[in-house]
Structure 1
Amino acid sequence: MKTASAKSIIMQCLASALLGMVATATHAAMTAPWKMTGALKATVCQIELQNDGLVDFGEILRGQLSPSASVGVDAKPFSATVQCDSPTLVALKITDNRPASSKPNRGMNFQFKQPGSGALAINLAPIKFFSLGSTSGQPIAALAIRMNKVSVTDATGTLTSSHLMTGPARDSLTSRPYVDTSSGHLIAPSNNTVLISGTRFVFPMELAASIEKGGNVPSNADIELKGSAIVEVIYL
């Protein structure tokens, strides 16, 4: 009886072990590792500025200055071209390299070209212009930038944006905005409220200079205008 009981116990143990192995094997077969891979490919864009980024306003005679007000100098056409290796949304950001203290702290008079109607005279606040340098600590001139509609090329061809989105949140919609010097100000091509994707973008603009009134230009010697800014491509 003892022997039979021992065998019975052994058989029961073996059966339990086998059942455990079967249960374990069955459980393992019901799961499998699942791995996800991929890569976010960065779009590479290059920017090229017309004339290597040099804008020359030429010689401005002191006799052109006004004793009572700043004087606008004829605007110069200019463009920035952005070329990307795949379709993407981009914006331009233009940052003044000069400190705010080196530009006039009040409104300045500018002259822009107005197709079909001659010059457009406008007075702009300091937030709308960049520094063109100072002499003896006195700001002498300012630069304003007026954007035009952007040409965008994609796989289907080339189109011209109807508007530009401007501002830190691209919340202002206009056709020909003046570039704002506030932090984070962006300019992006748009049709109505939809930003435009492409591989090539041509940003045309006008650059206009304004010279301080004669009494605020402290020297009778030649004075060189010295503006400097960074044009940056922002991926949207």
Structure 2
Amino acid sequence: MKPKQYETKKDYILESLKDRILSGTFGPGVHLKTRQIAEEYGTSEIPVREALSQLASMGLVRIIPHVGAITSSLSSHDLKEIFQIRETLESLAVRLAVPQLTDDDITQIADIAKTLEDAVAEGDAPDRLNYLNRQFHMQIYQHCDNQRLIHIIDDLWNHATRYPGPLTGNNPETRQSLQDHQDIVAALKERDAETAELVTLTHKRRAMRRIIQKTEQEELRTRIETEGSVLE
């Protein structure tokens, strides 16, 4: 039975499948079979097809004629494109947010930064660290007074969550990210939009380099394994 907060079965199926794709439950290249999904959710195939069509419009699946819906994958080049857009839009969101922030807003943002620091010190799992990292940034962006901008940023971030996040544990890269967060908070307290924007831009570029490097290494490993199996 679908939860009451969803108006239609299609909405429920859409959000459920979306969560499973973004969480990695459905990895890249998985065939999402309409009939099987309909049986799982106890519905007809019509809302399933509608949900899959919407997932395709989000770029999360590809609809292949005579095959069906296949979860999409992102190459290192795709991720680079996404991060190039994100670094520009997220820096803009910070600049727009600064004049709107109250002292209480900044306190909430600083509290999230502290929670993330504590999580790193306590050795929490990377999933937890990257969740708090996203929460920190989105807590700032939500004050930019531009819902379309927030929606675009959130959508682009969703695509990247299927791949390794920038925070992997208590290491120099993570500690640099935590320092960046403190520098952003300091700029917010000073109501210095220009500095907050610049620190965010630099911060995002560092994250992009780390994630792209990891993805390229994984692509190389997969290519070597594939070529090796062919030679065998």
TM bracket (short chain): under 0.3
Q: Give TM-score, length-normalised by structure 2.
A: 0.20
Q: In proportion to residue count, which structure has more strand?
A: 1
Q: In proportion to residue count, which structure has more helix?
A: 2
Q: Give TM-score, length-normalised by structure 1.
A: 0.20
Q: Which has the larger radius of gyration?
A: 1
Give the number of the structure with larger relative contact order, counting CA–CA contacts within 8 Å between residues 6 or more apart: 1
